[in-house]
Amino acid sequence: MGKVGFVSLGCPKALVDSEQILSRLKALGYETSPTYEEAELVVVNTCGFITPAVEESLEAIGEALRENGKVVVTGCLGARPEVIKARHPEVLEVTGPGEVDRVLEAVQRVLPPRRDPFLDLVPPQVKLTPRHYAYLKIAEGCNHRCSFCIIPQLRGGLRSRDAGEVLAEAARLAATGTRELLLIAQDTSAYGVDLHHRESFWKDRLVRAHLVDLLSAMAELGVWIRLHYVYPYPHVQDLLPLMAEGKLLPYLDVPFQHASPRILKAMRRPGGVESHLRTLEAWRKEIPHLAVRSSFIVGFPGETEEDFRLLLDFLKEARLDWVGVFTYSEVEGAEANALPGHVPEEVKEERKARLLELQQRISLEKNRALIGRTLEVLVDELPEPGLALARSYRESPGIDGVVHLETDGTVRVGERVRARIRDAGPYDLYAVAE
């Protein structure tokens, strides 16, 4: 069989694309290779969202070329082939994000598959995450036009999947051991708008392409469901009853990006301190234990010390559970590049450090408030006998903290157990299995 190496960079949405490409390659008879030396060709799935990601992708392509020599490039940076070709003109093919068929064509052209029709069977979907959790993409593209972002240029406008198709994939994953589904899109809360919430069949009934209907049906699978990249639209309030009923994890990943109305206007983002706080207050009124993650950009062009202090004041009142912070980085093709008042790099880094210091204190206080409580956790790893690494509803894999769980040695990866919290740090919790 032909052996293909694979390098996957970027966000969970790109990871899902990688899984689709690998699944299709496997169905065509290819094997995957863990090393450059054994591979007969390497596919690099790139990220092109911000300048550091572009550089990381270009370096990964260069490494694959040095170590292997035959390289096909795909992903977000592939939407700008001139950037790749300028640095690495020897790549065999450059394809854009989501262009799975073009990747397969390129691989087959360079490395024709060798198949035995009497022995080959179509394999199950390849997963790049552990068996017990999976990212499930419900839509592609984005209709927003944020001034710092070029995702609509790279991936196009919003294109939602029919509810029946999403539910069928979710059911397949649950049947093969997935215990947590992480729903992703560029804007999860806009799901189905482009389809005018049309109905499609799942099992013996019609389900609308609407987030509430989709999640209600998905909850029947008995798995944890976690939402990422949720814009703070008013209709997010409609999801809260699902959380109260235990059908949806009480966790929202909401990219507020800033709190200064002036900076948000320059970003072409909605809201400000007061509206953000009103939104959080309304959500927490219905779900007091709601966990909220958000991300922020500091050092955006024109950001003054006053703007930054507004952001700090917002965080003090908002008391978010988890916060990611990025210094503003120019993205080729983004309109924000032309804005006046670019902030010096040292000021960006200093503001990032101040924000993280504040949030660390807030996260520590929130975590300590959990001491003595019992939470249901999902076991991710068993690093040593009597110790498990797990997550509660409050923690998403890879980006939030973890629960260090003392056990009697009988728990298994993918199992849900009850954990009594006995100690807490700014990121992680420490617990004993009950």
Burial of 134 (0-12, 13-18, 19+ CB in 10 A): buried
pLDDT at position 172 over 80 = yes
pLDDT digits over 15-64, tens only? 778 888 887 888 777 888 889 999 999 999 998 777 788 889 999 999 99
How much is the average pLDDT of 263-284? 94
How much is the average pLDDT of 187-214? 96
CA–CA gap between residue 307 and residue 318 (Å, rounded)? 16
C-alpha 169, offset from chain centre: 18
CA–CA gap between residue 384 and residue 94 (Å, rounded)? 43
How much is the average pLDDT of 384-401? 95
Q: 341: alpha, beta or left, given left = phi > 0 and alpha = psi -120 to 50?
A: left
Q: Report which secondary-structure segment, H or E, holds 387.
A: strand 387-391
DSSP state of 257: B
Report percent pLDDT > 90 for the chain. 74
**Alpha-carbon torsion, ordered 319, 323, 328, 334, to 10 deg:** -100
pLDDT at position 119 over 50 = no
Q: What is the structure's pLDDT at 34?
A: 87
How much is the average pLDDT of 143-154? 88
Burial of 43 (0-12, 13-18, 19+ CB in 10 A): buried
Scan for tokens 């397969």, then name that residue: 104
Q: Which residues make beta-bridge pairs with 227?
A: 183, 252
Rounded (to 5) percent helix, strand, coil in the chain: 35, 25, 40
Q: What is the structure's pLDDT at 127?
A: 60
Nearest CA to 254 out of 197, 189, 206 is that of 189
CA atoms in the 13 A half-sphere facing the CB of 399: 16
Question: How many Cβ atoms are within 10 Å of 253's Cβ, its own excluded?
Answer: 22
Antiparallel, parallel or unpaired: β 205-208 and 199-202? antiparallel
DSSP state of 39: -
Question: How many Cβ atoms are within 10 Å of 430's Cβ, its own excluded?
Answer: 17
What is the token pair recorded at 88? 């690495």
Residue type, 184: I
Please report which confidence band the pLDDT of residue 121 belongs to, taking 50, 70 and 90 as the band edges.
very low
Beta-carbon contacts of residue 134 (< 8 Å; ≥ 6 apart): 127, 173, 178, 180, 181, 182
Q: What is the structure's pLDDT at 122?
A: 45
Alpha-carbon distances of 83 from 41, 225, 226, 367, rounded to whole Å: 21, 38, 36, 44
Q: Which of 30-34, 60-64, 129-133, 391-395 tops mean pLDDT? A: 391-395
What is the token pair recorded at 147? 């001034």
Question: How many Cβ atoms are within 10 Å of 381's Cβ, its own excluded?
Answer: 12
CA–CA gap between residue 20 and residue 98 (Å, rounded)? 9
Q: What is the structure's pLDDT at 13?
A: 72
Radius of gyration of the chain (CA): 23
pLDDT at position 220 over 90 = yes
CA–CA gap between residue 106 and residue 286 (Å, rounded)? 52
For residues 280 and 272, the answer to whether their CB atoms sit within 8 Å is no
Residue with the bigger pLDDT between 98 and 295: it is: 295
> What is the model's pTM?
0.80
Scan for tokens 């024109």, then name that residue: 302
Q: What is the mean pLDDT of the chain?
A: 91
pLDDT digits over 319-374, tens only? 999 999 999 988 888 999 999 999 999 999 999 999 999 999 999 999 999 999 99
Nearest CA to 394 out of 221, 226, 182, 187 is that of 226
Question: How many Cβ atoms are within 10 Å of 321's Cβ, its own excluded?
Answer: 20
Beta-carbon contacts of residue 130 (< 8 Å; ≥ 6 apart): 380, 413, 414
What is the token pair recorded at 115? 């198949």
Q: Which residues make beta-bridge pairs with 416?
A: 378
Q: What is the structure's pLDDT at 332?
A: 82
Nearest CA to 243 out of 24, 87, 103, 393 is that of 393
How much is the average pLDDT of 182-195? 95
Q: What is the structure's pLDDT at 118?
A: 44
Q: What is the structure's pLDDT at 370?
A: 97
pLDDT at position 182 over 80 = yes
What is the arrangement of strands in the sheet containing 291-298, beginning at the earlier edge strand? 133-137, 180-184, 224-227, 251-253, 291-298, 322-327
